């Protein structure tokens, strides 16, 4: 039987609270000898090549938010590494045997096996290295999303990490413009605005241009292509290329595994988040009904696949951009749609 009597009040000795009331001590002013060693606090001294804490493996941000820390699969790596090692040993002993027994065929097979193992090892290593870049990208995104409330050190850290991520060097014009604009007194939100303007906006513009061009070309291609099966293959190929280009634009070089991960995320977003967005993006159904009514059947097919490409591109852009979009800066599908429509109308009219 549980006891349901009301519990009596209790007194706690509030050690922490009493200590805390004395804690916010205000530091008094201090005078320094002007001849003392001093360095100006100036962002123009920043060196983007300097490694930041964010990038160091297992850095401070690694245990940041939910979903950030993906447990590395030690078991899997151990199994694969062990298999390679054992395979090498096995092959080496086999080679030794083949050599002593002068078995030429066996020697050739052993050599081939070794070469294959070498290639496999190299691929594995580069995959692992690139997979870490994706993790780093996630960490960077989180750090940048926290910018408005960050401390001065975190701001410096994140800014540097972003510059490195975009592989900017000391002389890159946008990096120089950013350094000129940044002042030591800028807080997180202000820094974010400046990063957005100097580093993200030019890349956004390029990305939108790319998406717009690729999607309208896809649309035209589908509209004029005579074979549906070939269309589908071509469209899929073009989508792959477009997403790859967008990732590279935002400084993200992906491994095969990473690409699969990214595609999974893009498709997931398009299926769920994207659906909600489309519903809010009012008028799209109405407009497209109206448009398809005025276009030929082929052109409207083209329009549909062009729109899909544009949506895919925007999704990929939103996922790859190190600084997450705000509502004001997010590019809209509507702008791209208008361009697509104009292009197809021209095509239809000439046909």
Partner 1 sequence: MAVFSRQRLQHEMSNLIERSRDRQLRLAVTGLSRSGKTAFLSSLINQLRHAGVEARLDLLPAAREGRLLGARRVNQPDLEVPRFPYDQALKALGNTPPRWPSPTKGISELRLSLRFRPRRSTMLKAPTSTLTLDLIDYPGEWLLDLPLLQHDYDSWCRAQAAHRGEHREAFMAPFQDAVARLDPAAEACEDALAEIAERYAMGLKQAREAGFSNLQPGRFLLPGELAGAPVLQFFPLNLSKAEQQSCRQLPDTSVYATLAARFEHYRKQVVTPFYRDHFQRFDRQIVLVDLLGALNAGPERFEDLSAALAQLMQSFNYGKRHLLNRLFDSRIDRLAVAATKADHVTPDQHERLVRLLETLLAEPLKDLRYTNVPVKAFSLAAIRATDVREVHDAQGPSLALSGHSLGGKACLFFPGDVPTSLPDADFWAHQGFNFASFRPRPMTSTALDHIRMDSALDWLLGDKLQ
Distance, in Å, from the CA atom of 31 to the CA atom of 239, rounded to the nearest integer, reads: 63
Q: Least distance (Å) from partner 1 to the CB of residue 155?
A: 11
Q: Least distance (Å) from partner 1 to the CB of residue 285?
A: 26
- Whether the Cβ atoms of residue 247 and residue 263 lie closer than 8 Å to each other: no
When the beta carbons of 38 and 57 are compared against partner 1, the nearer one is: 38
Structure tokens, 173: 């014009």
Distance, in Å, from the CA atom of 58 to the CA atom of 70, rounded to the nearest integer, reads: 11
* Closest alpha carbon to 193 in 141, 157, 147, 140: 147
When the beta carbons of 180 and 290 are compared against partner 1, the nearer one is: 180
When the beta carbons of 45 and 100 are compared against partner 1, the nearer one is: 45
Q: How far is CA 286 from CA 153, 271, 282, 283, in A?
A: 50, 21, 8, 5
Distance, in Å, from the CA atom of 193 to the CA atom of 202, rounded to the nearest integer, reads: 14
When the beta carbons of 115 and 201 are compared against partner 1, the nearer one is: 201
Q: How close are the terminal C-alpha atoms of the chain, in Å?
A: 85
Q: How far is CA 302 from CA 195, 220, 221, 236, 293, in A?
A: 37, 6, 7, 14, 14
- Whether the Cβ atoms of residue 307 and residue 215 lie closer than 8 Å to each other: yes
* Closest alpha carbon to 284 in 315, 313, 266, 311: 311
Q: Least distance (Å) from partner 1 to the CB of residue 186?
A: 8
Q: Least distance (Å) from partner 1 to the CB of residue 204?
A: 14
List contacts with partner 1 (CB under 8 A): 26-34, 36-41, 152, 180-181, 183-187, 190, 193-194, 197
Distance, in Å, from the CA atom of 82 to the CA atom of 117, rounded to the nearest integer, reads: 12
When the beta carbons of 141 and 198 are compared against partner 1, the nearer one is: 198
Give the sign of the dihedral formed by CA 44, CA 49, CA 55, CA 56: negative
Q: Least distance (Å) from partner 1 to the CB of residue 205?
A: 12
When the beta carbons of 29 and 67 are compared against partner 1, the nearer one is: 29
When the beta carbons of 45 and 57 are compared against partner 1, the nearer one is: 45
Q: Least distance (Å) from partner 1 to the CB of residue 162?
A: 17
When the beta carbons of 40 and 293 are compared against partner 1, the nearer one is: 40
Structure tokens, 56: 């160091």
When the beta carbons of 152 and 287 are compared against partner 1, the nearer one is: 152
- Whether the Cβ atoms of residue 161 and residue 55 lie closer than 8 Å to each other: yes
Q: Least distance (Å) from partner 1 to the CB of residue 33?
A: 7
* Closest alpha carbon to 200 in 329, 45, 315, 313: 329
* Closest alpha carbon to 307 in 270, 340, 348: 340
Q: Least distance (Å) from partner 1 to the CB of residue 198?
A: 9
Q: Least distance (Å) from partner 1 to the CB of residue 59?
A: 22
């Amino acid at each position: 039987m549980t006891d349901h009597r009301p519990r009596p009040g209790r007194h706690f000795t509030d050690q922490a609270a009493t200590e805390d009331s004395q804690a916010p001590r205000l530091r008094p002013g201090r005078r320094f000898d002007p001849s003392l060693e001093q360095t100006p606090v100036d962002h123009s001294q920043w060196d983007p090549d300097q490694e930041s804490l964010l990038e160091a493996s297992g850095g401070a941000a690694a245990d940041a938010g939910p979903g950030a820390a993906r447990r590395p699969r030690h078991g899997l790596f151990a199994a694969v590494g062990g298999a390679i090692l054992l395979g090498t040993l096995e092959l080496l002993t086999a080679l030794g045997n083949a050599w002593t027994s002068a078995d030429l065929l066996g020697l050739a097979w052993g050599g081939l096996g070794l070469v294959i193992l070498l290639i496999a090892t190299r691929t594995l290593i580069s995959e692992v290295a690139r997979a870490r870049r994706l993790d780093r990208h996630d960490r960077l995104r989180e750090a940048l999303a926290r910018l408005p409330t960050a401390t001065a050190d975190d701001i410096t850290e994140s800014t540097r990490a972003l510059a490195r991520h975009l592989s900017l060097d000391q002389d890159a014009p946008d990096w120089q413009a950013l350094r000129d604009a940044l002042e030591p007194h800028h807080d997180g939100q202000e820094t974010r605005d400046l990063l957005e303007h100097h580093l993200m906006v030019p890349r956004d513009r390029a990305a939108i241009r790319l998406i717009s061009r690729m999607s309208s070309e896809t649309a035209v291609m589908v509209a004029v292509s005579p074979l549906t099966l070939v269309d589908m293959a071509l469209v899929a190929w073009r989508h792959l290329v477009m997403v790859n280009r967008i990732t590279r634009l935002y400084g993200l070089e992906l491994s095969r595994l990473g690409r699969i991960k990214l595609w999974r995320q893009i498709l997931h977003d398009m299926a769920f988040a994207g659906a909600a967005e489309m519903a809010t993006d009012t008028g799209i159904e109405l407009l497209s009904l109206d448009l398809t009514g005025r276009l030929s059947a082929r052109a409207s097919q083209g329009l549909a696949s062009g729109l899909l490409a544009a949506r895919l591109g925007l999704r990929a852009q939103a996922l790859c951009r190190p600084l997450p979009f705000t509502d004001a800066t997010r590019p809209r599908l509507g702008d791209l749609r208008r361009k697509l429509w104009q292009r197809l109308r021209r095509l239809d009219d000439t046909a």
